[in-house]
């Protein structure tokens, strides 16, 4: 790619504006790299014809009016966003042949901003997972070590950006699905405030938690992407009517909270890496203060109850009748439902559906679903209390760097516990930024900045300042080849 496969969006904008490179050239370079790095399994599909046609249009637009917004910039959508006329699979056998008949609001907005979609990225099936191993096309590989996971569920997007296949991608985050793979792959990712980005056309996992957001190399690029993705959408009842995120940061000294419940849980390596980050933040002129988020330990449990309950009914629509996988020669209606769904969904999705049915069923609703919602209020209150005295909270994203493929398969709850640092902000609906802050054994490590509702601007400003002073976002993995561990 001209400007290098690892150029940022901001750099590419400058290149396009100066006519040193064209949008067609950029799109083609992305498509070539995606093909060359196919063993990463980062993509479910590409759309070369659409991409090149849109890139040509972008070049004409740039020639006429110069480069604005995202015009001419190549990117990928997580394969959870509906794009009219393109396959939208959610990495599920259930939707393996589904071609979306409409555009997600985010897809329409990215199109309107002139960005050039080159393909759709791999993920955990229906976004249920933390490793991008559950999709019907198999595991996404971490570009830093193809024997390891890319994280999930937006693992394809994270791996694609990290490996220089695209400069940016969309993701979705329900309990950490943008932040955790960003951390595992050494890229930047933002989970916006719940309601900031429209969920219309983003295939639902857990409606009260799902939030789309950007993934890119830098916080500066995230800001650029967020500006195009965000905004009130009359088609999404839960989308918020709030002022847009500022185009530029206004840096000021901030009070940064350090939650003991997170930091005390860290192992030695991770603790050392995060301590360095903490000192680095202080070095930027911000003041650190201890805060307490006392209900943190109940967050994973509450999260799995709520997300599974919502998922169990969100996925009832996949019945083999109007779209999606249908079992052959059903002998009756029951058989049609049971076989279509059992053949269409993978094991993890089934586990979540059944867990959700359990927590909502007669006799269990109060003890599980309602209880989890009460815990959810306490967790949100913890944050609101903390934000009375601090402007943002600094926390780890993950307990460890990227783990090995299949390492968490024996017991599903091992995987669930990986989300301990990301689910609290999800339950509270807060914006949270994940940016690289170090490495352990050659694998990237991320830190998380959590802000009050709709304080994305503040988080991005912190991230931008951090990335001006550090270069943890700069290193990138060497191109890998399909090795014996990645068959």
Partner 1 sequence: MDSETVERLLRLSALELDEDARARLVRDLGRIVALIDEMQSVDTEGVEPLAHPLDAVQPLRPDRADPKVDRAMLQQGAPATRDGLYLVPRVVE
Partner 2 sequence: MSTEWESVIGLEVHVQLATESKIFSDAPVAAGGDPNSRACGVDLGLPGVLPVLNESALGMAVTFGLAVDGKIARECRFDRKNYFYPDLPKGYQISQLAEPVVSGGHLDIDLGDGRSRRIHLTRAHLEEDAGKSVHDAYAGLSGIDLNRAGTPLLEVVSEPELRSPHEAAQYFRALHSLVRALGISDGNLNEGSMRCDANVSIRPKGRKELGERTEIKNINSFRFVERALAFEIERQIGAVEAGGEVVRETRLYDAERDETRPMRGKETSEDYRYFPDPDLLPVVVTDAMLEQARARLPELPAAKRERYARDFALDDYACARLTGDPDLARYFEAVTATGVEPRQAANWVLGEVSAALNRDERDADDIPVPAEELGTLIARIDEGVISSTAARTLLATLWREGGDADAHIADSGLAQLNDDDELRRLAQEALQHHPDQADQYRAGKTKLLGFFVGQVMKASQGKANPRQVNELLRELLTGV
CA distances from 368 to 102, 252, 310, 348, 365 (A): 36, 43, 13, 20, 5
The residue behind tokens 């249920």 is 128
Q: Which partner from the list partner 1, partner 2, none does 460 bind, CB cut-off 5 to 8 Å by kind?
A: none
Q: Give the ranges where 40-104 is alpha helix by DSSP (H).
A: 48-65
Q: Please report how many Cα atoms fall inside a 13 Å half-sphere around the Cα of residue 55, on the Cβ side.
A: 23
Q: Which partner from the list partner 1, partner 2, none does 2 bind, CB cut-off 5 to 8 Å by kind?
A: none
Burial class (CB in 10 A: 0-12, 13-18, 19+), 157: buried
Contact status: 347 vs partner 1 (CB under 8 A):
yes
Quick check: is 350 catalytic? no
**Which is nearer to partner 2, 309 or 408 (by Cβ)?**
309
**Which is nearer to partner 2, 235 or 374 (by Cβ)?**
235
Quick check: is 120 catalytic? no
Contact status: 265 vs partner 1 (CB under 8 A):
no
Of the candidates 58, 427, 460, 462, which one interacts with partner 1 according to CB under 8 A? 427
Size of the site for partner 1 (CB under 8 A): 76
- Total H helices, total E strands in the chain: 16, 13
Q: How far is the CB of 201 from partner 1 (least distance, A)?
A: 14
Q: Which partner from the list partner 1, partner 2, none does 64 bind, CB cut-off 5 to 8 Å by kind?
A: none
Of the candidates 272, 287, 292, 361, which one interacts with partner 1 according to CB under 8 A? 361
Residues near partner 2, by CB under 8 A = 81-82, 88, 90, 95, 98, 100-102, 104, 199-204, 206-208, 234-238, 309-310, 312-313, 315-319, 321-324, 333, 337, 357, 360-362, 365, 369
CA distances from 167 to 34, 35, 267, 309, 466 (A): 12, 16, 32, 35, 20
**Which is nearer to partner 2, 28 or 92 (by Cβ)?**
92
Quick check: is 340 catalytic? no
Which residue in the list 132, 139, 177, 308 is annotated as catalytic?
A: 177
Q: Which partner from the list partner 1, partner 2, none does 309 bind, CB cut-off 5 to 8 Å by kind?
A: partner 2
CA distances from 79 to 142, 146, 315 (A): 18, 21, 16
Angle between helices 299-314 and 371-386 (to 10 degrees): 130
Rounded Cα–Cα distance for residues 257 and 260 (Å): 9
Of the candidates 246, 258, 412, 486, which one interacts with partner 1 according to CB under 8 A? 412
Which residue in the list 139, 153, 157, 307 is annotated as catalytic?
A: 153
Q: Which partner from the list partner 1, partner 2, none does 478 bind, CB cut-off 5 to 8 Å by kind?
A: none
Q: Which residues contact 400 (CB under 8 A, 6 or more apart)?
A: 267, 269, 270
Contact status: 97 vs partner 1 (CB under 8 A):
yes
Rounded Cα–Cα distance for residues 234 and 286 (Å): 39
Rounded Cα–Cα distance for residues 470 and 277 (Å): 10
Of the candidates 141, 191, 295, 476, which one interacts with partner 1 according to CB under 8 A? 295
Active-site residues, by number, are 78, 153, 177
């Amino acid at each position: 790619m001209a400007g290098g496969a690892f150029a940022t969006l901001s750099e590419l904008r400058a290149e396009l504006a100066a006519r040193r490179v064209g949008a067609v050239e950029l799109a083609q370079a992305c498509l070539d790299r995606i093909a060359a790095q196919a063993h990463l399994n980062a993509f479910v599909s590409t759309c070369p014809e659409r991409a090149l046609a849109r890139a040509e249009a972008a070049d004409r637009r740039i020639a006429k009016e110069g480069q604005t917004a995202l015009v001419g910039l190549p990117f990928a959508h997580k394969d959870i966003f509906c794009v009219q006329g393109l396959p939208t699979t959610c990495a599920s056998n259930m939707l393996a042949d589904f071609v979306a008949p409409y555009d997600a609001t985010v897809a329409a907005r990215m199109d309107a901003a002139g960005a050039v979609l080159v393909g759709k990225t791999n993920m955990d099936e229906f976004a249920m997972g933390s490793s991008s191993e559950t999709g019907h096309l198999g595991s996404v590989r971490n570009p830093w070590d193809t024997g390891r996971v890319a994280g999930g569920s937006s693992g394809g997007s994270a791996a694609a950006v990290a490996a220089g296949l695209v400069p940016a991608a969309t993701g979705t985050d329900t309990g950490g699905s943008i932040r955790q793979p960003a951390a595992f792959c050494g890229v930047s990712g933002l989970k916006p405030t719940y309601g900031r980005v429209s969920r219309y056309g983003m295939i639902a996992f857990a409606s009260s938690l799902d939030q789309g957001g950007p993934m890119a190399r830098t916080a500066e690029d995230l800001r650029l992407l967020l500006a195009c993705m965000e905004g009130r959408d009359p088609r999404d009842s839960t989308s918020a009517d709030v002022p847009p995120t500022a185009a530029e940061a206004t840096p000021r000294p901030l009070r940064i909270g350090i939650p003991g419940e997170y930091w005390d849980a860290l192992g030695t390596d991770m603790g050392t890496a995060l301590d360095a980050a903490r000192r680095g933040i202080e070095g930027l002129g911000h003041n650190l203060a201890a805060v307490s988020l006392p209900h943190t330990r109940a967050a994973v449990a509450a999260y799995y109850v709520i997300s599974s309950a919502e998922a169990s009914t969100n996925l009832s629509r996949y019945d083999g009748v109007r779209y999606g996988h249908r079992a052959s020669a059903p002998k009756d209606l029951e058989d049609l439902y049971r076989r279509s769904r059992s053949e269409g969904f993978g094991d993890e999705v089934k586990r979540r559906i059944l867990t959700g049915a359990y927590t909502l069923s007669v006799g269990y609703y109060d003890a599980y679903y309602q209880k989890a919602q009460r815990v959810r209020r306490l967790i949100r209150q913890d944050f609101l209390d903390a934000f009375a005295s601090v402007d943002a909270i600094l926390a780890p994203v993950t307990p460890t760097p990227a783990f090995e493929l299949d390492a968490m398969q024996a017991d599903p709850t091992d995987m669930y516990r990986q989300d301990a640092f990301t689910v609290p902000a999800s339950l509270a609906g807060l914006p949270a930024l994940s940016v690289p802050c170090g490495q352990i054994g050659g694998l990237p490590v991320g830190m998380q900045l959590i802000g009050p509702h709709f304080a994305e601007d503040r988080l991005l400003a912190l991230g931008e300042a951090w990335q001006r002073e550090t270069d943890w976002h700069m290193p990138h993995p060497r191109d890998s080849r399909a090795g014996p561990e990645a068959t």
